[in-house]
Amino acid sequence: MLSPKDLMASPMYARQKLVQEGWVYVDDDDYRIEFSQDWAVTRSSPQAYENSMHVVSLQGATATFVFAGTAVAVYGAVGGVAQNGWPSSSYAVDGSVYETYNFVSASGYSNASELRYQVPYFTVQGLSMDEHTLVITNLNGTAPNKYWLDYICFYPFVNAGSTSPAPSTQISLQLAMSASAAAQGSRVWLVTGASSGIGYATVQEVLAIGERVAATTRRASSLDSLTSAHTPSELLVLEYDIADPTKSADDLISRIVSHFGRLDVVVNNAGYGLNGVVEGTPDEAARAQLEVNFWAPVRISRAAVKFFRMHNPPEQGGRILNISSTGGFTSNPTLAFYSASKFALEGFSEGLHKELDPKWNIKVIVIQPGGVRTLWAGSNMVEVPLPPTYADPEGLTARFLQVMRGTKYIGDPNKVGRALITISEAENPPMRLPLGADARFVIQSKLNEIQREFDEWKELELSTIADDADPTFLAKLSGSVVKN
């Protein structure tokens, strides 16, 4: 077949050479696709592009071609301002990735030495005469890098001498872009703990609206039902053990961006319950709970903020949704360590949120679901046997366990997933979002209790003020420690 040099010389020469090698181009039309301004700035005015305040990125954009033929050749052009390396594209035929093409620096043009022009090339041969689909996905090219795709020439071929339908009935060509993906590609989500429950449901709901997901799980096979229904350009499943502190969160983010070209929303969902009274819970069990429910989201949130801040323009920003619980606002018997992990996550999330410059448009949102119909109280709960002292069936601990184990929760995980999508799109989301009637009831009850105690003990609370206290001290807290 042809070399990249052949294609760089001339698309017409490329077709002639393929024919000389025993291939027949099956249509007289030149399938040259000029990408619209939604996708690109034309190569005719690169300086205007460089000076433009609006950076158009191809990160994650996908072109789909439907064709019939036993071979296909693709030729195209890309330009850009490369500051952090050159972009790459994934080429998949009928769902199988044949090649990842890495663009490299070629001859420059315009007055800007950074601007380059490169010709990608790709061929697949030995196909059946059935209809095939070629999907080209830009894998990266995030700000401050600026790339655009000028055009693609797409050539289906058949073997010389083969019997085939007339070209008019044999070949069709489609350039398919979803409305949400036309400009910069649809949003990309990272969802941890995606094998079941809220994580699985969120992945389902995000895919249903045409956005893309990187889903982490300890076993990729747990998501086989989703991977069989979606292409790699839509769903990336990664085996990632969040309980292992040696697993780099930065590397995780890099893998996702290398695949999709962008990242917009992070859902720190992975976690589990630990059911046992404090007196009977071993230290190692308590520490493991904090490692998964607290430290893992900390590591991923830190890496996500770094990526959002360095690579996403303010209009894109980023969203971090940390899945807490009503147990992150109020605690109950046998769940002290579980609540400790969620209280810590909420405190961390609030502090992190307040550190972020508003102009970065990076928001951290604490999600506080009530009881949701998941495996949390079943296989996702570590049970520590009660010591005899706490086993009284009439005691508060035993009565709470009866409610927890004998109640059918009222939360729908798919509705939770849809709520996460809604809040991720909010321009000014709340710091905390309770989900469910039970969540509102429990949290409101706790707020009422806090207010009652706050008022009841006011005199003692104020009795510790130093005699020479600055009378303007409270005013100084406004706008920094507390909101105005």
Residue 31 near residue 83, CB atoms below 8 Å: no
- Write out the DSSP string of 94-105: TTEEEEEEE---
How far apart CA 325 and CA 424 sit, in angstroms, is 18
How far apart CA 189 and CA 203 sit, in angstroms, is 9
- Write out the DSSP string of 395-442: SHHHHHHHHHHH----B-HHHHHHHHHHHHT-SS--SEEEESHHHHHH
Phi, psi dihedrals of residue 300, rounded to the nearest 5° = -70, -40
Phi, psi dihedrals of residue 168, rounded to the nearest 5° = -65, -30
- Helices vs. strands in the chain: H and E counts, helices first: 15, 19
The H-or-E segment that residue 354 falls in is helix 336-355
Vertex 338: Cα angle to 334 and 344 (nearest 5): 140
Is the peptide bond prior to 144 cis by the omega test (within 30 degrees of 0)?
yes
Distances (CA, A) of 52 to 39, 45, 48: 15, 11, 6
How far apart CA 70 and CA 67 sit, in angstroms, is 10
Return the structure tokens found at 162. Answer: 């083969």
Distances (CA, A) of 101 to 4, 89, 91, 484: 12, 5, 8, 52
CA 286 to chain centroid = 30
Residue 318 forms beta bridges with which residues? 362
Beta pairing class for 362-369 and 318-323: parallel
| SS3 assignment, position 448 | helix
For residue 454, count other CB atoms closer than 10 A to its CB.
10
Catalytic residues: 324, 338, 342
Residue 223 near residue 301, CB atoms below 8 Å: no
